[in-house]
Structure 1
Amino acid sequence: MRLHLITKLTAATGAVLLCTMVLFAYLNLNNLKGLLLQEATLNADRISETILRTTHSQMLRDDRPLFYRTMQEIGGQQGAEVRVVNRTGRVIFSTTEAETGMMLGKSAEICQVCHKGSQLLVRASLKNRTRRFYRDGTEYLGVTNAIYNEESCYTASCHFHPEEYRVLGILDVVVPLDKMHALQNAFRNRSIALTLLLIAITSLSLTLFTQKLVNRPVRELLDHTKRLSRGELDGKVPSFANDELGELAQSFNLMTANLKKAREELEGWGKNLEQMVEDRTREVTQIQAQLVRSEKLASLGELVAGIAHEINNPLTGILVYTSLVHGDEKLDPSLKEDVETVIRETKRCAEIVKGLLEFSRCSTPHLGNASLNAISDAALSIIEHQTLFQNIEVIREYDQTLAPLVVDPGQLEQVLVNIFLNAAQAMDGEGTLRIESGAEGGQAYIVISDSGCGIPESHLAKIFDPFFSTKENKGTGLGLSVSYGIIEKHGGTIEVHSQVGVGTTFTVRLPLGEPAQISCSAAL
C-alpha cells in the first residue's frame, strides 16, 4: 500500500515528538522523584530535630512519661513512627508498642548510623542517616539522629551517665512515602496526558501546515509533470511562497516554456523542411522540364531548318505560277475561286515556313540598354489599336524606379506582343489586361495577367512546345516557342500559371546587369 507524503511526514514527526516527550517526561519524573525524596528526608529530619528540641528539657529532668507522651503526639501529628534506642541497643520507646523493650544488634539498620563494622562513628551525614525500606508493600523512609551526651546532660542533677559517654542513644523517625508516590503518580499521569495532548495538537498542526506548505505544492508539481508527460505544454504551476518549492515551481514553468518553444521550433523546422522539399522538388521539376524542352527544341530546330529550306523554293514556285494563272484572262471563271484558294493556302504555308526559319535561326541578340517599361509600352502601341483590343482594359502597374536592362529591345518586344495577342484572344476581345513590372532578388520581372478563359492544367506543360496550339485552325503554334527561346538567350525565365475560367498569368524574369552568355544550341 502506497503511503502519502503527508502521512509519512506526520508519522515520522509524531514518532520523533513521542520519543522526545517520553524522554523529557522520564527525566522530569526522575528529577521530581529525587526532589520529593529529598523533601521527605528533610521533613523527617525536621521532625527528628523538633522532637529533640522539644524533649530536651524533659530529658534533663528525666521526665520520661512526659517525654514519651510528647514523642507520641508529635509522631501522631506528622504521621511518623518514632522510637528511641539506648546506647546498648534496647528500644526504650516506640510509637509501635510491640517494639518497646526489643534488643537491636549492631547489624540492625538503625545501628548502622553509628556502627560501620567494628568502627564507632560519632558524627554521620544526613545521607548516611537515611534509609529506605518496604513493609507490607509500602515504602518507608527512616531518618536517625544520635542523642549526644552534652554538658548539660552529664552535669544535671538527675544525670547518671558518665561524662566519657559521647552518644547516649538514637532517635529514629520513620515516615511513609505513600504521599510522595501519590504526587509522583499524579505528576506522571498529568505528564502522560499533557504529552498525548501536545502530540495530538502538534501532529494536527503539522498535518495542516504540511498540507498547505508541502503537500499541495508537491501535488501541483506532480499534476504538472503528468500533463507534461501527455504533451500538454500550455499549463503552468501556480506560484507558491518565496522558498525552495517556489523556486522549483518557477523552474518547472521555465522548463515547460522551453519545451514548448523547442517543440514549436521543431514543428516549424518540420514545416519549413517540407516546404523547402516541395519548393526544391518543384524547382527540380521545372529545371528538368526546361532541359527536356531545350533538348526537344534543339533537336527540332535542326530538323525544321533543313525542311524549311527544302520546301521554301517549291512553295515560291507554286505561288508565282499560281499568281500568273490567276491573272491570265484565259482562266475559266469557274476555276478562279479554286486558284485563289491555292494562292491563299500557299501563302499560309509560306508563313509557316517563315516561322520555322525564325524558330531555327540562331540569331544573336543585339544588346543595349533599354527600359522594360518602355519596351512594354512599345509592344502595346503596336496592337492596342486593333479591333481585338477595343473592349479590353489595360492596367499598367510599372515600377518607375526600375533600372534599365541590357537586352535586345526588338526581341523582347516580339515576346511581349506574342503574350499580349494570346491574352486578347483568350479574353475574346473583352476583359482586363494587367501589366506589372518590378525587381526582386537581382532580377527584373514583368507580369502579364488576363481575365480570359484560362488554360487547362493538362496543356500547361506543352504550351512552349513547337506547333502546339489551343486555337483551332489559327496560328502556327510557334509564337510561345520562339518567345521561350528569346528569353533563355537573354539568361532569363518565362513561367505561366493559369486557372480555367479565371485567367492566365505569364511571368518573365530577366537578370539585372549583363545577361549570361548562352549558346544558340542551348537556346534551342
Structure 2
Amino acid sequence: MRLNLISKLALASGLVLLCTIALFAYLNLRSLKGLLLQEAIAEADRVSETIIRTTHNQMLRDDRPLFYKTIQELGAQQGVERIRLINKTGRIIFSTDDAEIGTVLSKYSEVCGVCHGGPQLLLTASSMHRSRRFFAPSGEEFLGITNAIYNEESCYTASCHFHPEKLKVLGVLDVVVPLDRMHSLIVAYRDRMLFLTLLLITLTSISLTFFTQKLVNRPVRELLKHTHMLSRGELDGSVPSFANDELGELADSFNAMTLNLKKAREELEGWGRDLEQMVQQRTLEVTRMQAQLIRSEKLASLGELVAGIAHEINNPLTGIMVFSSLIQSAPTLDPALKRDIETVLRETKRCAEIVKGLLEFARCAPPQKAPCSLNEISDAALELVRHQILFQDVTIVRQYAGRLPALHLDSNQIEQVLVNMFVNAGHAMMGEGMLIVVTGLDQKTATAFVKITDNGCGIPEANLDKIFDPFFSTKSSKGTGLGLSVSYGIVQEHGGRIEVESQEGVGTTFTVLLPMHPAPSASLPAPDDAGAESSAPA
C-alpha cells in the first residue's frame, strides 16, 4: 500500500511526538513518585513527632491509660494504619493492633534494623533511613517510619521514672501509614498525562496535516502534475505561484524550464519545417537539373547523330529533286507518269524540310543578342501566324505588361520559339478557340516571362515529361517532333527555361522564362496595345 506524503509526515511526527511525550511522562512520573514518597515520609514523620510531643507530659507523669488512649485516638485517624510503641528490649508494649501487644521483635527486624542493622548502634538517623516500604498479604503497600524516644533530662530527673541517665534511648515509636493515596495520585496523574498525550498527538497530527496539505502537499502535487504534463510533451501548462519560499522558487524554475522547452521545441519544429521545405526545394531543383542535364546530353548526342544523318541524306535528296524536275519537264514524259513524278517531287520536298529541321536542331547556333522588346517579339510572331488558315477562327488575346525593360535576346530565335508554340496551340485547338498571350516580370526571380495559354485538347499527364524530346509528337501524320526540342535548346542558350502546365480536355499553358539583363539604356517603349488587354479574331 502506497502512503502519500501527508500520511508519512503525520505518522513520523506522531511517532516522534509519542516517544518524546512517553519519555517525558516516564521521567515525570518517576520524579512525581519520588516527591510523593518524600512527602509521605515527611507526613508520617510529622505524625510521629506529633505523637511524641503530645504524649510527652503524659509519659513524664507515667499516665499510661491516657497515653495509650491518646495513641489509640491518633491511630484511628484517616491515613494512619498502625501505631505501636516498642521498648528498648524490642517488646511491643502498646499497639493499635491488640494482637501485637507483648510481641518481642528481633534487633534484625525491619523496625529495629534501622539502628541495629550496622556494625555499630545508631542513635540518630535521617527520616529517609528510618522509613521502610512493605506490602501486606493483600498486596497493599505501606510506609513505616520509626522515631526514637530519647532519654532526655526531664525524663531521667522525673520522680516517676527509673531510667538511668546513661541510657540514651528509652524506646521506639513506629508509625505505619498506607500509600494508597500516593498511588491514587500517581494513577490519576498517569491517566491525565495519557489523555493529554493523545490530545496533543491528535491536535499536532491535525495541524501538521492541515499545514502540510496547504504548504507542502498541494505545491508538490502541482509540481508532480506539471512534471507528468512535461513527460507527455504538453508544454502549455504552468505551475501556479506559491509562497515566497523554496517551493515557490521551484515552481518559478519549473515555469521557466517549461517556457524554455516550449521555445526550443518551436525552434526545432521551425527548423524541421524549414529543413523539409529546403530539402523539397533542393530535391525539385536537383530533379529539374538532372532532367535538364539528361535532356541536354540527349540533345547533344542526337544533334551529332542528326547532323551526320542529315548531311548524308541531303545529297541524295538533292539529286532526286534535280532529276525528278528534269523528268517532269521532259516533253517525252508519258502523261500517265506525270502524277507519279509530282508525288515524288512533293515527298522529296517534304523530306528536304525534315532534313532542314534536323540541321537546325543539330546546329543550335549561339544567339546573337541585342537589346530588344519582348512585347515586340511576341507581336512579330503573332503577325506571322495570325493570317494562316489554322488561326482563322481563333481569338487572340494579348495581355502585355507596360514598359518592360529591354532584354538581351536574339530576337529571331525567340521569335522562332514563340511561332512554334503558337502553331502547336493552333493545332491543339483544331483551328477554333482562344489564344491568350501574357507578358510580365517576376521581380523575385529577376525574370521576364511570356505565357501562352490555349483552350485546346491539352496534353496527357504521361506525355508532359516527353514533349521536349526530339522526334516526339502527338500528331500522327504531321510534324517532325523537333519544334519544341529546338525551342527548348534556344531558350536554354539564353539562360532561361520553359515550363508547361496542362490539363487534358481543358487546355495548356507554356511559360517561357528569360533572365532579365536590361540594356544600359532605359526601358524600350511598349507597342500601342502594351499594358492593355486586346481581343480580336485572327
Task: Bin the TM-score by the shorter chain.
Answer: 0.7 to 0.9
The CA deviation string for residues 63-112 of structure 1, in whole angstroms up to 9 with x for no partner, is 33333323322332243122233334333332222333333333232234
Structure 2 equivalent of residue 365 of structure 1: 367
The partner residue of 2:455 within 440, 452, 462 is 452
Structure 1 equivalent of residue 288 of structure 2: 286
Q: Which one-letter code corresponds to 1:115 in the other structure?
A: H
Matched residue SS, 1:117: coil
CA distance in 2, matches of 1:502, 1:41: 128
How far is the alpha carbon of 1:265 from its aligned partner? 6.4
Structure 2 equivalent of residue 131 of structure 1: 132
The partner residue of 2:297 within 295, 300, 305 is 295
CA distance in 2, matches of 1:264, 1:271: 10
Alpha-carbon distance change, 325 to 19 in structure 1, aligned in 2, over 3 angstroms: same
How far is the alpha carbon of 1:399 from its aligned partner? 9.4
In the TM superposition, 1:117-128 aligns within 5 A as: 117-128=118-129
The CA deviation string for residues 158-213 of structure 1, in whole angstroms up to 9 with x for no partner, is 45444444433332221100111122122223333433444445445555655666
CA contact (8 A) 2:381 2:418 kept: no
Q: Which one-letter code corresponds to 2:79 in the other structure?
A: G
Alpha-carbon distance change, 405 to 74 in structure 1, aligned in 2, over 3 angstroms: farther
CA distance in 1, matches of 2:210, 2:71: 64
Structure 1 equivalent of residue 492 of structure 2: 488
Structure 2 equivalent of residue 510 of structure 1: 515
CA contact (8 A) 1:398 1:437 kept: no
CA contact (8 A) 1:392 1:424 kept: no
Alpha-carbon distance change, 143 to 264 in structure 1, aligned in 2, over 3 angstroms: same
CA contact (8 A) 2:439 2:448 kept: no
The Cα RMSD (Å) is 4.4
Q: Which one-letter code corresponds to 1:506 in the other structure?
A: T
Matched residue SS, 1:114: helix
CA distance in 2, matches of 1:124, 1:72: 26
When structure 1 is superposed on structure 2, of 27-36 and 418-427 the one drifting more is: 418-427
Structure 2 equivalent of residue 467 of structure 1: 471
Matched residue SS, 1:110: coil
CA contact (8 A) 1:220 1:237 kept: no
Matched residue SS, 2:441: strand
CA contact (8 A) 1:375 1:412 kept: no
CA distance in 1, matches of 2:180, 2:213: 48
CA distance in 2, matches of 1:117, 1:31: 30
CA distance in 1, matches of 2:238, 2:203: 32
Structure 1 equivalent of residue 86 of structure 2: 85
The CA deviation string for residues 473-522 of structure 1, in whole angstroms up to 9 with x for no partner, is 555433322222223333444333333325324252538699xxxxxxxx
CA contact (8 A) 2:425 2:435 kept: no
Structure 2 equivalent of residue 411 of structure 1: 413
Matched residue SS, 1:497: strand
In the TM superposition, 1:141-160 aligns within 5 A as: 141-156=143-158, 158-160=160-162
CA distance in 1, matches of 2:167, 2:298: 156
CA contact (8 A) 1:435 1:449 kept: no
When structure 1 is superposed on structure 2, of 423-432 and 322-331 the one drifting more is: 322-331
Matched residue SS, 1:366: coil
Aligned residues: 506
CA contact (8 A) 1:492 1:511 kept: no
TM-score (norm 1): 0.77
Alpha-carbon distance change, 192 to 399 in structure 1, aligned in 2, over 3 angstroms: farther
Structure 2 equivalent of residue 522 of structure 1: none
Alpha-carbon distance change, 423 to 376 in structure 1, aligned in 2, over 3 angstroms: farther
The CA deviation string for residues 411-470 of structure 1, in whole angstroms up to 9 with x for no partner, is 3454345445545665655154333322446x6353625253432222212221233334
CA distance in 2, matches of 1:474, 1:162: 175
CA distance in 2, matches of 1:398, 1:419: 23
How far is the alpha carbon of 1:245 from its aligned partner? 5.6
Structure 1 equivalent of residue 375 of structure 2: 377
Structure 1 portions without partners, runs of 5+: 515-524
